[in-house]
């Protein structure tokens, strides 16, 4: 199986949906007031995947006769495309395991069905944000990499690619840490939001203490991330927002919530 295609970006960099998608059910409150129950995306994602695969093999194999279809040749093509090994490969190829936030002590994705459910969830969100044509182009490139379409999908060549989820090549270096994600071509997860949500879910008090030094027109901000009144991260930046984000990233690592 060859290196996979670009994973389409979520429409308008939907932060609420991105945060919900990459928060494991061990942490996530199932109902998000902005997007509803995020688990519903895996239901539509499963149906979209089934339709796209069926449609692709039906339309790209015009020589298949009625009898061949009755002998389940089409079903055989579908089964080969959608076996569990394919889902596991795609899950690892996109480094999804390293993107999820889970409750400390929980090791997610030990079960193959869970991997498939979460991949369907991302397919559903992609369909919800981008529509069927973008989703179809992406899925076809996954299941039939040698298929030649007339033109590449718009998301693969547009300026929006800079904010897309980009799959790694098999020979790529190790997955980027949260602090380096913004320079890797990967859409960085909203780390500040992730840290705040996880602290809230774990019923931990969190606040950010900041001060600025230097001239008003060019200040330097220092922000401390305080969790349970203990400093867990410190950030320095040209803006309060940048310093706060860095403090959250350090707290993420120091609390043992993700890789450093």
Q: Where are the domains of the chain?
A: 11-169, 195-254
**Range in 42-46, 77-81, 141-145, 148-152 with the lowest mean pLDDT:** 148-152
Give the best-scoring range by mean pLDDT among 107-111, 193-197, 203-207, 227-231. 227-231
Q: Which residues contact 246 (CB under 8 A, 6 or more apart)?
A: 179, 223, 233, 234, 235, 236, 237
Give me the pLDDT at residue 45, please. 94
Provide mean pLDDT across the span 198-202.
75
DSSP 160-219: GGGGSB-PPPTTPPSPPPGGGGGGTTS----HHHHHHHHHHHTT--EEEEEEEES-TTS-
- Alpha carbon 59 to chain centroid distance? 30
Give me the pLDDT at residue 71, please. 63
pLDDT averaged over every residue in the chain: 75
Q: Which residues contact 23 (CB under 8 A, 6 or more apart)?
A: 100, 101, 194, 197
Q: Which pLDDT tens digit goes with each residue over 46-75?
A: 999 999 988 888 787 777 777 776 665 667
Q: Which one-letter DSSP state was computed for residue 231?
A: E
pTM exceeds 0.75 for this model: no
CATH class name, domain 195-254: alpha beta
Would you state the structure tokens that stand for residue 8, as one six-digit string? 């389409």
Q: Decide which of 23 and 171 is more confident.
A: 23
User: How many Cβ atoms are within 10 Å of 85's Cβ, its own excluded?
Assistant: 11
Residue 187 has pLDDT above 80, yes or no: no
Give me the pLDDT at residue 207, please. 94
HSE at residue 88, side-chain half, CA atoms within 13 A, is 8
Q: Which pLDDT tens digit goes with each residue over 79-94?
A: 788 889 999 998 888 8
Would you state the structure tokens that stand for residue 223, as one six-digit string? 């922000």
Q: Decide which of 13 and 55 is more confident.
A: 55
| Residue 157 confidence class, pLDDT cut points 50, 70, 90 | very low
Q: What is the CATH number of domain 11-169?
A: 1.10.1520.10
- 5-18 in b/e form (b: 16+ CB < 10 A) is bbbbbbeeebeebb
């Amino acid at each position: 199986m060859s290196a996979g295609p670009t994973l389409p970006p979520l429409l308008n960099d939907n932060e609420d949906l991105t945060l919900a998608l990459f928060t494991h059910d061990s942490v996530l409150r199932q109902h998000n007031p902005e997007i509803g129950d995020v688990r519903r995306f895996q239901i539509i994602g499963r149906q979209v995947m089934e339709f796209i695969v069926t449609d692709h093999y039906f339309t790209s194999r015009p020589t298949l006769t009625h009898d061949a279809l009755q002998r389940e040749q089409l079903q055989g093509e579908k089964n080969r495309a959608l076996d569990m090994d394919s889902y596991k490969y795609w899950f690892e190829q996109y480094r999804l395991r390293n993107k999820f936030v889970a409750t400390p002590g929980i090791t997610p994705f030990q079960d193959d069905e869970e991997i498939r459910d979460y991949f369907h969830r991302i397919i559903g969100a992609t369909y919800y944000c981008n529509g069927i044509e973008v989703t179809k182009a992406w899925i076809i490139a996954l299941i039939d990499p040698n298929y030649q379409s007339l033109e590449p999908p718009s998301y693969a060549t547009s300026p929006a690619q800079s904010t897309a989820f980009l799959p790694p090549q098999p020979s790529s270096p190790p997955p980027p840490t949260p602090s380096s994600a913004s320079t890797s071509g990967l859409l960085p997860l909203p780390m500040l939001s992730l840290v705040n949500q996880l602290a809230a879910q774990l019923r931990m008090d969190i606040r950010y203490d900041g001060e600025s030094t230097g001239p008003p027109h060019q200040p330097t901000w220092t922000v401390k991330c305080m969790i349970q009144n203990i400093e867990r991260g410190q950030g320095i930046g040209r803006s309060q927002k940048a310093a706060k984000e860095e403090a959250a990233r350090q707290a993420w690592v120091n609390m043992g919530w993700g890789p450093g």
